[in-house]
């Protein structure tokens, strides 16, 4: 006899794929598998072969299922890195490597698109102003630089769409991930015909938009079932983007908490909240939430977070935790350009160096510069709860002592660190449970308690350090970092 019902949530990120098998009733993680990705490129280019995402998914699922009864699995969902551009031929195979979210080559195209419609025009339609990260800018870049590939495209997908289609054989996406393209309108809840014409993009190349990430858009095909070792015919959820899935995993949405700010520290740094207020400010990306309609995920995103700080630690020959407050030193670790603020051509900046400055202070200054850049977006979140509400701190950095203490010191706020570390994968598992049972995925995640954790009290805010970093950034911009 099969075991009690289980679901699989997949987190396909920039660097790796993780798959968790979760007991559908309790939320207990039964097993997890992981497989790495390769990212290539230099001088702003960041690309990956989408086929390796599929191979990594099959490897991660196989590892997670080892020793378990696959007949117990009743649903599967994918959460993926946002914004990546995947172009496919008529057989569903990639025409070229995917252009990833952190590829900054499309910065000129993003600027041109903004000029063509005006920042407010984009905000009114999509909730976001194009930056190099957005898929629309990447499509314009492809049309201008590789027109043969653009003309040959039989399908255009986001990373999670590509994997969902491989699982269920259906071209589908969700409002959350679609809202990161800049060709989907959060005002109308559909693709925007005017923007598609502006971008020279045929809507027939795009996947259908399901009502929400937990919608069952198909069932596991015989081919996918054979590769994964799972029963064919189990529901495949629409899935969503990684940030939207993390929000579900935290229990944020209509059936859970609204307006509670989250700070995520990973390859990128993000701040977001699930709200009923549609964002319309250039300081944020005005995404939809995975349980849309009626909820939104206004989000500020930076390019340089944990990987940038780890690079500084490696350059200094220090362990990542061997850091001290930066003192007079200010280090803006914009090693890959920056998205927020929109400085695609920026590089790292170090100022305030003294004879007495130690390597540990330089590393601490890198932490401070990265944390400042993320936290500065908090004030722009519409409807987000006041400073008496703890920040929910997630991502890989939330497991690091120095990251946590730096965020506490620069924000002056209490911080809740969830016990669960794989919130994106668990959010995807909740979407899979929703597809299998019809339950609200946020209610499922809330019942599982995946967002619960320890709350650390506030400490006195370090206004002096905040002011030094803000002044250095203002000077940097004025000297031509743009």
Task: Name the residues annotated as catalytic.
Answer: 242
Nearest-angstrom CA–CA distance, 154 and 89: 5
411 closest CA partner among 391, 435, 394, 434: 391
Tokens coding 303: 């390019």
Q: Are strands 6-12 and 73-80 parallel, antiparallel or unpaired?
A: parallel
Sign of the four-CA dihedral 247, 251, 257, 261? negative
Nearest-angstrom CA–CA distance, 134 and 84: 8
Q: How many CB atoms are located within 10 Å of the residue 332 CB?
A: 27
Decide: 181 and 133 in contact? Cβ < 8 Å: no
Radius of gyration of the chain (CA): 21
Q: 180, exposed or middle or buried, with CB in 10 Å at 0-12, 13-18, 19+?
A: buried
Decide: 56 and 17 in contact? Cβ < 8 Å: yes
In DSSP terms, which residues pair with 48 in a beta bridge? Answer: 98
DSSP 261-285: -EEEESSSEEEE--BSSPP--TTSE
Q: 146, exposed or middle or buried, with CB in 10 Å at 0-12, 13-18, 19+?
A: middle
């Amino acid at each position: 006899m099969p075991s009690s019902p289980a679901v699989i949530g997949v987190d396909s990120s920039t660097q790796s794929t993780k798959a968790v098998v979760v007991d559908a009733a309790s939320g207990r993680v039964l097993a997890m598998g992981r497989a790495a990705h390769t990212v290539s490129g230099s001088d702003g280019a960041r690309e990956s072969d989408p086929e390796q995402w599929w191979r990594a998914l099959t490897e991660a699922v196989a590892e997670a299922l080892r020793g378990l009864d696959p007949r117990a699995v009743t649903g599967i969902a994918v959460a993926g890195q946002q914004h990546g551009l995947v172009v496919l031929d008529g057989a569903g195979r990639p025409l070229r490597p995917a252009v990833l979210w952190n590829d900054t080559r499309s910065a000129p195209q993003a600027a041109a698109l903004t000029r063509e419609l005006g920042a407010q025009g984009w905000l009114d339609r999509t909730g976001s102003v194009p930056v190099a990260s957005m898929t629309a800018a990447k499509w314009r870049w492809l049309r201008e630089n590789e027109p043969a590939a653009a003309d040959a495209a039989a399908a255009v997908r986001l990373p999670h769409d590509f994997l969902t289609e491989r699982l269920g054989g259906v071209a589908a996406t969700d409002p959350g991930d679609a809202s990161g393209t800049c060709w989907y309108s959060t005002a109308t809840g559909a693709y925007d015909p005017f923007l598609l014409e502006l971008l020279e993009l045929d809507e027939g190349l795009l996947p259908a938009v399901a009502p929400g990430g937990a919608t069952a858009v198909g069932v596991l095909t015989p081919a996918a079932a054979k590769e994964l070792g799972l029963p064919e015919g189990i529901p495949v959820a629409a899935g969503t983007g990684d940030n939207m899935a993390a929000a579900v995993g935290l229990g944020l949405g209509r059936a859970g908490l609204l307006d509670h700010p989250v700070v995520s520290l990973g390859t990128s740094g993000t701040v977001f909240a699930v709200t009923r207020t549609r964002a319309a400010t250039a300081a944020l990306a005005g995404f939809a939430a995975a349980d849309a309609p009626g909820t939104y995920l206004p989000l500020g995103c930076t390019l340089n977070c944990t990987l940038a700080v780890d690079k500084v630690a490696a350059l200094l020959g220090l362990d990542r935790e061997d850091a001290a407050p930066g003192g007079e030193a200010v280090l803006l670790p914009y090693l890959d350009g920056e998205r927020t603020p929109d400085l695609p051509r920026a590089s790292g900046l170090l100022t305030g160096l003294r004879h007495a400055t130690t390597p540990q202070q330089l590393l601490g200054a890198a932490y401070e510069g990265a944390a400042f850049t993320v936290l500065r977006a908090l004030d722009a979140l519409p409807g987000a709860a006041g400073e008496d509400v703890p920040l929910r701190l997630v991502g890989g950095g939330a497991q690091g002592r120095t990251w946590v203490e730096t965020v506490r010191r620069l924000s002056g706020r209490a911080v809740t660190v969830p016990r669960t570390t794989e919130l994106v994968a668990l959010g995807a598992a909740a979407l899979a449970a929703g597809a299998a049972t019809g339950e609200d995925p946020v209610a499922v995640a809330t019942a599982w308690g995946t967002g619960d954790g320890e709350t650390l009290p506030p400490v006195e805010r370090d206004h002096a350090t905040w002011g030094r970093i803000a002044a250095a950034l203002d000077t940097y911009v004025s000297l031509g970092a743009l």
